[in-house]
A = this chain, B = another copy of it.
C-alpha cells in the first residue's frame, strides 16, 4: 500500500542496475563462467562498426542468473550512432527495422493488425524524452484508415501513438493509461519506446535494445511502478530501449570498486580488469537458483554514496553535455525503423524522407 523506500531498493540493487540484457550477460562472461549457460542462448552478428546480439532467456534459471525476465532480447551496438552521421543513422534504422519485424513474427502479428506505440518518459526532462520524441516522428495511420474504404486499407496497418507522460505529471500510472487506451481502440500489440539506464558511459545513445518481455517496475530513466507486459495488457508488448543515462549511484559505486580492487590487484600500476559488480553465485549456474544472492553493499559504502549525492540521491544522473542533440537523433532512428517495419511495401527511402 505504502510506497516502497526507494533509497533502500536502489541501494540493495545498485550493483546490478542495468536495463540491458546484454550488460547482464557480459558480466557473466567476464566472470569466466562457462559461456554456455543453462537457459540462456546467445547469437551474435557483426558488420562494420555494428554488432547485433540476440539473447534468449529460456527459463527461470536463465532469468535468475541474468536478472532479466524470460524472453527475447536483441541489441544493436553502434558507436557511430553518436557521431551525427546521417548515413550511419539510416543504416541502423534499417537494421533495427529488421529486428522489430522479427519480433512481429514471433508475436504472430498480422499485416493489418493495429499497433499502439507508446512513447514512455517525461518530455520535460531531456534524457527521459526519447519516447515522446520518437512518437512525434511516427507515421500515424489509424484515423486515416478508419476513414478509407476497405479496399484501400489492404495491407496497411493501423498505427496509433501516445505519449502518456509520467506519474508525477499525470497522477496516473502509465500502465493504467495504456490499458485504458488499449481497451478502447482494440490494438493487437503495444510497442513501448523508453529511455534506459546503462552501467557504462560508452553505451549512451549508441545501443538499442528490442525485447518482448515488456517494461518492468523500476526500469528506465523514469522508474515506473506498474508492469507493462503481455500479462497485464493481454496482448504482446515489444519494448525498444536506448540507454541515455548512467545513474550517479552506479558510476560512483564503480569508481569505488575500481579503487578497492585496483589497490590490491595492481601494485605495479597495472590497470585492474573492467569492473565486475554482478555477484553471480555459482550455485545459480548449477541449478540452485534460490541460493544465488548478490552481496549487498556494505553499510559504510551506502552511507558514503548517500552522503555524496545528498539531497538528490537516486535522481542524480550522468549524461554527456550534448544529450539534447543525441536524443533528437536517436529518436529519429527509432521512429524511422518503426515506420519501415509497420508499413509493409513502403520503401525505406520513401519513409526516411518524412522524418524531420
Contacts and interface: CB of A to CB of B under 8 A. Distances in A.
A169 interface: yes
A32 interface: no
Mostly helix, strand, loop or mixed at chain A's interface? helix
Contact of A125 (B124, B255, B324): B324
Interface residues of A, number: 100
B308 A258 contact: yes
A161 interface: yes
A269 interface: yes
B317 A318 contact: yes
Copy count, this protein chain: 4
Interface in A315-355: 315-325, 328-329, 332, 352-355
A305 to B, nearest CB: 8
Nearest to A332: B356
Contacts of A84: 354
A168 interface: yes
Nearest to A182: B180
A196 interface: no
Contact of A251 (B159, B184, B248, B262): B248
Interface in A98-146: 122, 124-128, 135-136, 140-144
B356 A169 contact: no
A91 to B, nearest CB: 12
A259 interface: yes
A328 B311 CA distance: 19
A91 B304 CA distance: 33
A113 to B, nearest CB: 14
A260 B257 CA distance: 11
Interface stretch (A68-76, A171-179, A209-217): A171-179
A173 B356 CA distance: 24
A167 B253 CA distance: 35
Contact of A303 (B128, B182, B271): B271
A147 interface: yes
Interface string A145-165: 001010000000011111111
Given A142-B172, A147-B2, A256-B258, A320 B316 contact: yes
